[in-house]
Amino acid sequence: MIELNLTTSCEEHEIIKTYLQENASKELADKINNGVRIEKDGKTLINKKTLDGFMNYAQDEARKIAEKGKNYKAVHHSVVFGWAIHYFEEDSIEGTLYNEDGTEYKPAPVKKPITTPSKSVAIPKKKPETQFSLFDLMEQQDAVKVDSTKSENIDDEEPSEEDIQEAMKIVAEEEMKSKGSPLYQKYIEIQKQYPNYAIVYRLGDFYEVFGENAIKISNELDLTLTGRDCGLKERIPMIGFPYHVADTYIDKILKFTSVVVVDNKDIIVKEKHKSTNIDIETGEIFDLTEEEMREFDGDIYEPKYIDGDDDNEIIDTAKSLDKEIMLKLYDILGDDMTIA
């Protein structure tokens, strides 16, 4: 069990702390014990969260559920535990902020703008337009030619290395705003490959679903709909659940939509009574029925042999071979084929 530096002051605090100590990963425990560095107001701050802060967060989440047209809602303990992991895992949720020297951060007071009484300004009378002669127009044309020559000379100058780097930085920032973070781009890429599936993506201690599917699942399962900063102008709708109860939630989701589970380097396509495992790097596909998934333990079953009985050995070996392969070999070798 990982010891967490969380102060408790009531029984509810003890329950949440015990759960976190039994289920938090090393990365999450480090976030809880040491906080997370964030950038705010042009400064690097340390964001630390407490159990009191989580209780306020959980009350807000429960209130959101109750506001969905219901006067009350009994929240299952697994949902509350899921809130706890999400609260301490999500970097965008602020707890108590500290300066890097350990002192608590206090934002600078907002200065009220100084307003001055407006003064009436007299509008000057419009001066009569000057009549230009033919010679004045010729002088203006000559001046325009000189200015254009200067601008052409400026354009001919090659940009410096700093100018190029600055331009590339601006292009990268604009591309990020239009397409989102690399993680979100990968998520959308998989979603395009499986448009009619809910993409369930493993991120640390959580599985998360984004976008329209998150909204749909939130409504179907009464899960709290939140949002994640994916580098776009607005936060993307998101629902999440802890990895150790993922099978329970995925089984519930499969009742109304198919699912693609992205975990580390594997993509697992789940439909009713069927699962397809796809290796992201090689593209290799493994189809397993529900019965095969229950029986499969990672090993290939070896055929059983009876000592001294060659016929049984040949029969068992033949049964272990693929039928289509056997037929193709027979077409090629005919009666010369023997099974060793």
Q: pLDDT of the chain along its 340 residues, tens only?
A: 788 989 999 999 999 989 898 888 888 899 899 998 988 888 899 999 999 999 999 888 888 777 766 555 566 777 788 888 888 888 888 889 999 888 999 887 777 766 666 566 666 666 655 555 555 655 666 565 555 555 555 455 677 777 777 767 666 655 555 677 888 889 999 999 999 999 999 988 889 999 999 999 999 988 888 888 888 888 889 999 988 889 999 999 999 999 999 987 788 888 865 556 666 565 565 555 555 555 544 444 444 444 454 444 444 444 445 556 666 665 666 555 555 5
Say how far apart CA 291 and CA 194 lie, in whole Å.
Answer: 25
* Whole-number pLDDT of residue 319: 47
Taking the CA atoms of residue 209, residue 215, residue 221 and residue 224 in that order, the dihedral angle to the nearest 10 degrees is 80
Angstrom distance (rounded) from CA 237 to CA 229: 9
Q: pLDDT value at position 318?
A: 47
Contact in structure between 183 and 235 (CB atoms under 8 Å): no
In this prediction the pTM is: 0.47
Nearest to 216 by CA among 263, 166, 271, 258: 258
CB 262 within 8 A of CB 197: no
Tokens of residue 291, six digits: 């019965």
pLDDT at 62 (0 to 100): 82
- pLDDT for residue 52: 93
Query: Are 228 and 208 contacting, i.e. CB atoms less than 8 angstroms apart?
Result: yes
Q: How far apart (Å, rounded) are the C-alpha atoms in residues 318 and 321? A: 5
- pLDDT for position 327: 61
Q: Is the Cβ–Cβ distance between 58 and 114 less than 8 Å?
A: no
Q: How far apart are CA 243 and CA 209, in angstroms?
A: 13
Q: How many CB atoms lie within 10 A of CB 184?
A: 20
Q: What is the pLDDT of residue 304?
A: 44
